[in-house]
Structure 1
């Protein structure tokens, strides 16, 4: 509640049928096609070709001009949905989690139950605080440099150095860094960071998770694959039992505890995939022209410690420019009052990330690679720039992930000058595309 009263009847009307149709076709359908839980190559290619993210910004800005700042209920969708249109409301909703805005709405519960039915985000009010606290402690939320930073750096160096050597030894025909090769390296790094070096061989866990996530794209429309889910969670439990000192899993409770650590770790592995996408796009930014990219490359080549602020900021910029969480959803647990509107309980409030991250009418750096907005506080001061969400249900790995990626990027950049070889010109520091298909990116030394 914002302390302002509203009448049950208001002159601020919900969307018309025509507007709802436009939102469904130009905003929601492209999001579904791309895949909310695991990206579909065809969907990403289509989004890039049609500049669907730029269209989302245009449509939502137009709706705000016509309807005002209040969240806009959509008619005739078969579900109570409201589009969030004002930046201040993003902060209100995310800080108002879990009451009155639950992070575990029907769509999210349906999706995440495919591979982590007891994860913190979809847990009930009784279990969520304990599980959330366990995640925060293991991932060291609030600490820019994780207590196990030295171990993380060793893993990142090992995986990145092996990749560099493989590319250099492959010759001109095979030495191309594409998404398949990069994601394989990143998956191995994630398993090492989470469990320890032994887990680099457990490719089966990653394969199972990817298959489960593909079903999760359909949320509650598809039943859970019970056999695969059991095999996956059993493997995670076994890896937690073997977790090495210095790993993230070693900082979490053991299987059998009320925190259900196997489900929490399942979410970490899922989230690391989004980090891989953001990291690969960050490489495209780091091969761009301009002083910001040059400064980040210099940091990689000259700084040997754990504190790499420009590389961490590059990762955050990658997620701001091309969000890996396409839409943030919170479901109201009770009636909420806005400026001129009262919205009923059970409404799913949709925060479309690209609209708030890339609106040039509001952000002078909307389409620019500007890592300085993360080092000087400008981005943190924007209530709707949420690359790792925000509030009580925000990503507890929002410090760990940029740290891990900064170590990986440093080693890759030290392997020699990287060049784009996918036929597209290097990115410029400004006028960046609204979408960037990571499946199509290719680099070589």
Structure 2
């Protein structure tokens, strides 16, 4: 590997602590204390500024690093993001050492952890069940689940209790189980608790031994849920094919809905932003979906996207060895200062083609491994936000930074609190 573009030792020493905060915050499940610390210290902003500085000094090519013997390269140019993600799974595999080690804790046969031979039928099964790229054929059933869960949440809040993250998260978990399995699963708290336990261990990837007993109990409960899936549920649309390992695919859906909850709760803060056309947005499903996408752009729920080279790769005059882990730091591209809307709430970019034209804006990834649940996730969250805001604009009750003309570099979702009544 050419080393002329590699950072100097002092540059690496500045970079490593900021990269470490991405891991410390929790790649698989968020750690509230670290999330709060990252927000207070604006570590995303500082990391992005340093990466821009290194790009100016070393050029546009991926920045090579060697961390404890692990060969890595940080992607610095927006057009290189598209090359990397469109080159999945060959020559850039979505199944790297770290990802495989993490997902083995709760979904060892999920599509993202699958080798090329097993990946195709599993990806196809996901796209079939989630209706990738189109309006879900069971959207009426999904809408009914949303209305029911929103009513349960609003009734529980009454007129006095604040809507905080624990309440919202628990309700969104119940909604995810309803959508995936059916109404009966709304009270199946144990399955979610087991998954959270396994995800907390998965944060350490292969460095933490797998809790095989808990994993088997969790996957067994998921298999039972699939067997009892109601008509109109996502799980009911999975094919009866042993190659698919449906329980592992559903395990990933349950995991992914947690990130969706974070994005949705932050979207409520965006709906409180200064000069926001609240009434216009909540009345338009497309603008509500764009608001959720803005939430993910401004505060990425996937902190970094990883791909691993399956062979030596020539890139901008450098050769990267097989096994190199290529890293896309989401906030670095999503808040690129050359974008006129970088630090502003601008949902219109998802409706007028501006976001699609920017190769670095990848809230749901991109290419052959793009999130197959993108469309059903945006539909579900839009419906849920609309149901929760029928009383009017929710009022912020917390002391977190207000979303104004300048959107804070990181918003700690665990600190947000809203009035359920809203303001007329």
Q: Same fold (TM over 0.5)?
A: yes
Q: CA deviation at 1:293?
A: 4.0
Aligned with 2:79 (options 72, 79, 88): 88
**Aligned position for 1:21:** 13
**Aligned position for 2:332:** 355
Distance (whole Å) between structure 2 residues aligned to residue 16 and residue 342 of structure 1: 19
CA contact (8 A) 2:401 2:411 kept: no
CA contact (8 A) 1:17 1:75 kept: no
**Aligned position for 1:4:** none
Could you say what secondary structure the match of 2:374 adopts? coil
Q: Which runs of 5+ in 1 are unaligned?
A: 1-7
- Going from structure 1 to structure 2, the CA distance change for 1:146 and 1:105 (only over 3 Å counts) comes to same
Could you say what secondary structure the match of 1:127 adopts? helix
- Going from structure 1 to structure 2, the CA distance change for 1:76 and 1:406 (only over 3 Å counts) comes to closer
Deviations 1:61-112 (CA, angstroms, capped at 9, x unpaired): 0111011111011135320010100001100000000111000100000000
- What's the Cα RMSD here? 1.3
- Going from structure 1 to structure 2, the CA distance change for 1:128 and 1:164 (only over 3 Å counts) comes to same
**Aligned position for 1:220:** 206
Distance (whole Å) between structure 2 residues aligned to residue 19 and residue 292 of structure 1: 44
Aligned with 1:154 (options 124, 144, 149): 144
Residue 99 of structure 2 corresponds to residue 113 of structure 1? no
Deviations 1:203-256 (CA, angstroms, capped at 9, x unpaired): 1000000000000000000011000000000000000000000000000024x6
CA contact (8 A) 1:192 1:200 kept: yes
Q: TM-score, normalised by structure 1?
A: 0.92
**Aligned position for 2:379:** 403
Could you say what secondary structure the match of 1:118 adopts? coil
Distance (whole Å) between structure 2 residues aligned to residue 13 and residue 245 of structure 1: 56
Could you say what secondary structure the match of 1:436 adopts? coil
Question: Greater share of strand residues, 1 or 2?
Answer: 2
Distance (whole Å) between structure 2 residues aligned to residue 293 and residue 371 of structure 1: 12
Distance (whole Å) between structure 2 residues aligned to residue 425 and residue 74 of structure 1: 34
Distance (whole Å) between structure 1 residues aligned to residue 105 and residue 401 of structure 2: 40
Q: CA deviation at 1:19?
A: 1.6
Residue 352 of structure 2 corresponds to residue 379 of structure 1? no
- Going from structure 1 to structure 2, the CA distance change for 1:233 and 1:310 (only over 3 Å counts) comes to same
Q: Which runs of 5+ in 2 are unaligned?
A: none
Deviations 1:398-433 (CA, angstroms, capped at 9, x unpaired): 1111100000000101033310001346421x2100
Q: CA deviation at 1:289?
A: 2.0
Q: CA deviation at 1:339?
A: 1.5
**Aligned position for 1:3:** none
What is the count of residue pairs matched by the alignment?
A: 420
Q: CA deviation at 1:23?
A: 1.5
Deviations 1:312-345 (CA, angstroms, capped at 9, x unpaired): 0000000000000000000000011111211111
Q: CA deviation at 1:165?
A: 2.0
Distance (whole Å) between structure 2 residues aligned to residue 115 and residue 89 of structure 1: 31
**Aligned position for 2:256:** 271
Deviations 1:88-137 (CA, angstroms, capped at 9, x unpaired): 11000000001110001000000000000000011111100110010011
Residue 44 of structure 2 corresponds to residue 69 of structure 1? no
